[in-house]
Amino acid sequence: MAGGSWDGQAQDDGGGGADDPPSITRISPFNFLDPERQYLVLKAYFDGSGTDSPALLTLGGFSGPETAGEALGVEWREVLRDTRIPFWHTTDALQLSGVYKHRPGWDAMLAVSTFDRLLAVLMTHADHRLPRDKRLVGHVAEMPLAEYHHARVETPSLRQPEAICVNGCVGQVLATGDAPILLYFDQNEKFLRHIHRVWKKGRSDRRASQREWALRVENIAELSSQKYVELQAADLLAWLFTRSRALRISGVARSARIGIDHRVALLRSHTRPTHVFYDAERLQKYYSEEQEQRRKLGHLSAFGTKRQQRSGHYNG
Query: Cα(283)–Cα(278) distance, rounded to whole angstroms?
Result: 6
> For 233-260, what is each residue's pLDDT tens digit?
999 999 999 999 988 888 889 888 999 9
Query: Cα(61)–Cα(278) distance, rounded to whole angstroms?
Result: 17
- Judged by DSSP in three states, 20 sits in coil
Q: What are phi and psi of 219, to 5 degrees?
A: -160, 145
pLDDT of residue 239: 95
The region that residue 311 occupies, defined by phi over 0 for left and psi between -120 and 50 for alpha, beta otherwise, is: alpha
Q: Is the pLDDT of residue 18 over 50?
A: no
Longest CA–CA span in the chain (Å) reads: 62
Share of the chain above pLDDT 70, in %: 77
Residue 6 vs residue 179, higher pLDDT: 179
Share of the chain above pLDDT 90, in %: 41
When pLDDT is averaged across residues 104-128 and rounded to a whole number, the result is 97
Q: Which residues contact 134 (CB under 8 A, 6 or more apart)?
A: 65, 67, 68, 71
Residue boundaries of the structural domains of the chain:
33-309
CB atoms within 10 A of CB 9: 8
- Class of residue 156 by CB neighbours under 10 A (exposed 0-12, middle 13-18, buried 19+): exposed
Query: Cα(152)–Cα(303) distance, rounded to whole angstroms?
Result: 19
- Read off the pTM: 0.82
Q: What are phi and psi of 276, to 5 degrees?
A: -125, 125
The region that residue 41 occupies, defined by phi over 0 for left and psi between -120 and 50 for alpha, beta otherwise, is: beta
Task: Tell me what the pLDDT averaged over the chain comes to.
Answer: 81
63 forms beta bridges with 40, 137
Q: Which residues contact 211 (CB under 8 A, 6 or more apart)?
A: 202, 203, 205
When pLDDT is averaged across residues 160-179 and rounded to a whole number, the result is 83
Assign 80 a pLDDT band (cuts: 50, 70, 90).
Answer: very high
pLDDT of residue 105: 94
Query: Cα(269)–Cα(291) distance, rounded to whole angstroms?
Result: 35
Q: Is the pLDDT of residue 152 over 60?
A: yes
- Judged by DSSP in three states, 165 sits in helix
When pLDDT is averaged across residues 106-134 and rounded to a whole number, the result is 96
> For 207-233, what is each residue's pLDDT tens digit?
666 677 788 888 888 888 888 899 999
pLDDT of residue 174: 81
When pLDDT is averaged across residues 11-32 and rounded to a whole number, the result is 51
Q: Is the pLDDT of residue 170 over 80?
A: yes
Assign 292 a pLDDT band (cuts: 50, 70, 90).
Answer: confident
CATH of 33-309, one of 1.20.120.420, 3.40.228.10, 3.40.50.300, 3.30.420.10: 3.30.420.10
* Chain centre to alpha carbon of residue 12: 26
pLDDT of residue 171: 82
> For 34-72, what is each residue's pLDDT tens digit?
666 788 888 888 775 444 446 899 999 999 987 888 889
Give 106-111 contacts, CB < 8 A, sequence gap 24+.
108/6, 109/3, 110/3, 110/83
